[in-house]
Amino acid sequence: MTSIDIQQLTKEYGTRRAVDRLTFRVGPGRVTGFLGPNGAGKSTTLRLVLGLARPSSGTALIGGRPYAAHPRPLHVAGALLDPRAAHGARTARDHLLALAVSNGIAVRRVDEVLELAGVATVADRRIRTFSLGMRQRLGIAAALLGDPDVVVLDEPSNGLDPEGIAWIRELVRDLARAGRTVLVSSHLMNETAAFADHLVVLGRGRLLADTPMREFLDAHSTRRVRVRTADPDRLHAALARAGHTVARSGDGHCTVDGADAAEVGAVAAAAGVPVLELRDERASLEEAYLALTADETEFAATPLQEA
């Protein structure tokens, strides 16, 4: 199957390095979430992969060769970069038809992808009458036009309603299940957590992480256990003896940092303390991501100072 291989990829605009010696591989059969703060270089990287901008150095290959070297590239990779890019005065069908014809794609495929993306009923309307969500769907229809092995989507859930977001989630999973290489950039953590199997994280143009989602969460979140007991004082004493720090909250719960449920359960059992509730608390992707990118955010707000 086809993968995306990025080697020492660098793009400079004047003295600013938008993309700085990136090296990673996006493999088939899984959804790779592409994360990073605004200005981290995600879109620039995608443009370099698709040959729309020239790298200052390094290479970006799809299926072992530059995107532009494929004779009918829409069959190899399909991309949604900017939903506004379709000309407002054209109809959705004409927009797709011009793309299809240029790559020798059968005209009936245009109707198939219009149907697939849920915009078949507005196919003959001018694109300027479309909402942002409809334009996103049209952009996704264009990306799937050539039935490509590689699908690249830049912020696909922008402007979509909840139903559309759920549709995207199922779509990218289905594409990956069918063995395709799927790269989806986003800044919405909950969204990405819902579909990504693997994560590539950028910060200021550099690679911060390239790991499976599960490992990413484990690596960038502290272990923590939430426990509720009928006898908090005895449990606290027992945990303190075992070397754990305990934070107590008002309603009889307490949380133990740096431990997991097995350890806390064993301590409680040894001390003979009845446990009413015991569970591992895992950091969300958002927390893990923020912990990783705290120093890499280019445009961060400073908290308002109290006078």
Partner 1 sequence: MFAAPVLHSEWIKIRSLRGSLGSLVAVFAVTVTVTVLVRAAAGHTATDKGDDPLFGAFYALTFGQVAALAFGATAFSCEFRDGALCVSLAAVPGRTRFYVAKTAVVGVGALATGLVTTFVTFLAGQAFIGSDALGLGEPGALRACVGGGVYLALMALLAAGLTAVLRSAVAVLSILVPFLLIVSFVVGDVAGTAADLMPDRAGQQVLHQHPSGALGPWSGLAVTAAWTAAALLAGWWAVRRRDA
The whole-angstrom separation of Cα 170 and Cα 167 is 5
Name beta bridge partners: 11.
19
Closest CA to 197 of 72, 32, 69, 65: 32
DSSP 3-state of 217? helix
The whole-angstrom separation of Cα 25 and Cα 32 is 10
What value, to the nearest 5°, has the Cα angle with vertex 297 and ends 292 and 303? 105
**Least distance in Å: CB of 71 to partner 1?**
6
**Least distance in Å: CB of 222 to partner 1?**
42
**Least distance in Å: CB of 109 to partner 1?**
14
What value, to the nearest 5°, has the Cα angle with vertex 11 and ends 8 and 14? 140
Name beta bridge partners: 3.
none
**Least distance in Å: CB of 54 to partner 1?**
6
C-beta closer to partner 1: residue 97 or 271:
97
The whole-angstrom separation of Cα 88 and Cα 100 is 18
* Site of interaction with partner 1 (CB under 8 A): 47, 50-54, 67-68, 70-74, 79, 81-82, 84-87, 89-91, 94-95, 97-99, 101-104, 142
33, two tokens: 């979430």
Q: What is the CA radius of gyration of the chain?
A: 24
The whole-angstrom separation of Cα 41 and Cα 26 is 16
76, two tokens: 């190899």
**Least distance in Å: CB of 9 to partner 1?**
14
C-beta closer to partner 1: residue 133 or 213:
133
**Least distance in Å: CB of 77 to partner 1?**
8
